[in-house]
Amino acid sequence: MPGQHGSREHVQVRWYDYYRANGGVVAPGGFQGEDLDVLARAVLTRKNPEVCAPVMDAIEKAQDRETGDYSRFWAERDYLRDVGRVRASVFLVHGLHDLNVRTGQAGQWWDALSRRHVPRKIWLHQAAHTDPFNVRRDVWLATLQRWFDFWLYRIDTGIMREPMADVETAPNHWQTSRTWPLPAATTLRLPGAGRQTFVDDPARTADDIVADGGGLAYRFPPLTRDTRLTGTPEITVRASLAGDSPYLTALLVDYGAADRYAGLRTLPEQDCVGPGVEGDPGCFNRREYVTATTPYEIVTRGWLDVRNRFSRSVTTPIVAGREYTFRWNLQTTDHVFAAGHRIGVVLISTDRDHTLRYPAGTVVTVRPGHSKLEVRLTGKG
């Protein structure tokens, strides 16, 4: 049997990708301004923390918020480099609305495991930074039981003959598939010709900009049938920048009214799932989704510091106003665009909730005819 035990991972695969993206300094969702030194100081709980002051100061300096470059400091905190040493099976779980530990971390870990044919299973759910215990409790507990019965006790529960992926593509709507991501790949050319320009305004959030039609918005024709996107999109943009902000941000948008995830609500009813012990009765409140009908959803996003267009490790300044071809990845996702909806791309510079905020006024000029989005789409019509 390949592997002597199982594991369920909830880790930062690369600490760099928690606080950086493609050479840019970014913040985990909801924690703008946090960096590795802030976290290190927050978890320092010893009675005499002053003895660790030199280490904390060294972390603050080495993390480098000036360039955001990948360095030896970040390489030492890059667990993906050790994926070749994985001997256990892996059950990977992630929330599709988690902007804290981002879906890109799950995606790169999953892809690396796949290339090495590690025995694996994946669950992706609609919630954010939480556990499937809160969103699909009975099935989750039964699945875990069968997973560990097989990998720890070698009991043939049939779990490895079942579909590899369970994905909640909408609140309480699950789909299974034999592999993940789904294989169908396509290229969408951004519509439009010539040059198109916008001016960066770091005072506005990405949602503000999408709602008001700001940035540069590119919408593809309405879909004639439900279309599912899986995996990690990549965008290529021909553009120039002139100003202080070095960021290009791509937002992948689902345009069309739908009832969408808006959070979790705790209910008074409880489930008792195990024997109680002192301080833990083994009973837990049920939870349910909160949904809201919205005209659009930002499905995923990705950031690039254009000075790192050649390498996330090396800052190479650009010439203001000169055109370059930029390519970067968005966060991994799984999303169904309903028939009649439109897939859209919105290009902005500063992503207020995530990137550093440089002075306003950077002018970004894009050639849509030389720009494209590469995605995995199935059912496209």
**In degrees, to the nearest 5, what angle opens at C-alpha 103 toward C-alphas 209 and 23?**
70
Stretch 90-105: mean pLDDT, rounded? 96
Query: Rounded to whole angstroms, how far apart are CA atoms 137 and 286?
Result: 9
Confidence tier at 5 by pLDDT (50, 70, 90): very low
For the chain, domains (ranges, CATH) are: 8-177 (1.10.246.70), 185-378 (2.60.120.260)
**In degrees, to the nearest 5, what angle opens at C-alpha 91 toward C-alphas 336 and 114?**
75
- pLDDT tens-digit readout, 227-263: 999 999 999 999 999 999 999 999 999 999 999 999 9
Question: Using the 8-state DSSP alphabet, how is residue 330 labeled?
Answer: -
Is residue 210 within 8 Å of residue 346, measured between CB atoms? Answer: yes
Q: Which amino acid is at 341?
A: H
Q: Is the model's pLDDT at 182 over the cut of 70?
A: yes
Per-residue burial over 26-50, b = 16 or more CB atoms within 10 Å of its CB, e = otherwise: bbbbebeeebbbbbeeeeeeeeeee
Query: Rounded to whole angstroms, how far apart are CA atoms 251 and 298?
Result: 6
CB atoms within 10 A of CB 186: 12
Q: Is the model's pLDDT at 2 over the cut of 80?
A: no
Query: Rounded to whole angstroms, how far apart are CA atoms 67 and 16?
Result: 13
**From the DSSP assignment, how many helices (H) and strands (E) are in the chain?**
7, 17
Q: Is the model's pLDDT at 294 over the cut of 60?
A: yes
Q: Is the model's pLDDT at 13 over the cut of 90?
A: no
Per-residue burial over 144-173, b = 16 or more CB atoms within 10 Å of its CB, e = otherwise: bebbbebbeeeeebebbeeeebbbbbbbee
Instruction: From 304, 184, 297, 186, select the one nearest 245 (Cα to Cα).
Output: 304
Is residue 338 within 8 Å of residue 226, measured between CB atoms? Answer: yes
Q: Is the model's pLDDT at 4 over the cut of 70?
A: no
The separation between CA 236 and the C-alpha centre of its own chain, rounded to angstroms, equals: 18
The full DSSP string for 48-98 is: -GGGGHHHHHHHHHHT-TTT----HHHHTTBGGGGGGG--S-EEEEEETT-
Stretch 324-332: mean pLDDT, rounded? 98
Contacts of 95 (CB under 8 A, 6+ apart): 103, 124, 125, 126, 127, 128, 129, 130
Q: Is the dihedral of CA 361, 38, 332, 131 positive or negative?
A: negative
Query: Rounded to whole angstroms, how far apart are CA atoms 253 and 258?
Result: 13
Is residue 252 within 8 Å of residue 344, measured between CB atoms? Answer: yes
Stretch 163-178: mean pLDDT, rounded? 96
The full DSSP string for 211-270 is: HHT-SEEEEPPPPSS-EEEEEEEEEEEEEEEESS--EEEEEEEEEEEEEEEEEEEEEEEE
Quickly tell me which residue has 């009649």 as its tokens. Answer: 340
- Mean pLDDT value across the chain: 94
Confidence tier at 278 by pLDDT (50, 70, 90): confident
pTM (2 d.p.): 0.94
